[in-house]
Amino acid sequence: MRIMRVWSVILMAFAALSVWADDSIEVVAPRPNLLESMPGVEVIQDAQMDALMEAAMSGKEEWIEVDGYRVQVYSSNRQQTAKAEALELESRLKEKVSQTIYVQYLPPFWKVRLGDFREYEEAKEYKKEVVQIFPDLLGDTYIVRDKIKVLK
């Protein structure tokens, strides 16, 4: 009789542990690779893209500053209004542009610049896009040399 009690206590303990374990363990099914399920699709990409994706996924991106170009869309040294105008322009740009927006105070000027371009021609093409979206910025939009951020 005593042995049966011991066994029943042991079985109840295992049952309780299995119920507790079911609540605390989350089983995650692996995501299917969509490209494998598409016959005839071949992905061709630069080997550096794999390294960049790996760095982004690991959270260990290393940025460096190099000489490059940005598209400047605003510059003013009017003390009473320049900061507010720069921030207002930044909020307008956020809705429509794809590049990083830099609002800078370089005494005595407030400036708004877009992008991180290594080549002048890239910046020139992007300037055309910006002016098409915001024609009112045409007279204030320039390509400027600047230190830009790129992945190491």
**What pLDDT score was predicted for residue 151?**
80
| Residue 138 located in a structural domain | yes
Q: Which residue has the higher pLDDT, 96 or 44?
A: 96
| Residue 70 located in a structural domain | yes
Instruction: Quickly state the pLDDT bin for 145 (edges 50, 70, 90).
Output: very high
- What is the overall mean pLDDT for the chain? 80
Total structural domains within the chain: 1
**What pLDDT score was predicted for residue 94?**
92
**What pLDDT score was predicted for residue 92?**
93
| Residue 54 located in a structural domain | no
What pLDDT, in 10s, does the model give residues 71-118? 999 999 998 999 999 999 999 999 899 899 999 999 999 999 999 999
| Residue 42 located in a structural domain | no
**What pLDDT score was predicted for residue 63?**
82
Q: CATH number, domain at 97? A: 3.30.70.1070
State the residue range of the domain holding 144: 63-151
Instruction: Quickly state the pLDDT bin for 67 (edges 50, 70, 90).
Output: very high
Task: Give CA angle at 82 (76, 83), nearest 5°.
Answer: 130
pLDDT at 1 over 80: no
**What pLDDT score was predicted for residue 95?**
87
| Residue 50 located in a structural domain | no
| Residue 19 located in a structural domain | no
Specify the amino acid at residue 150. V
| Residue 104 located in a structural domain | yes
| Residue 55 located in a structural domain | no
What's the average model confidence in pLDDT over 6-31? Answer: 53
Say which range, 13-22, 57-66, 143-152, has the weakest mean pLDDT. Answer: 13-22
What pLDDT, in 10s, does the model give residues 121-142? 999 999 999 999 999 999 999 9
- The predicted model scores a pTM of 0.60
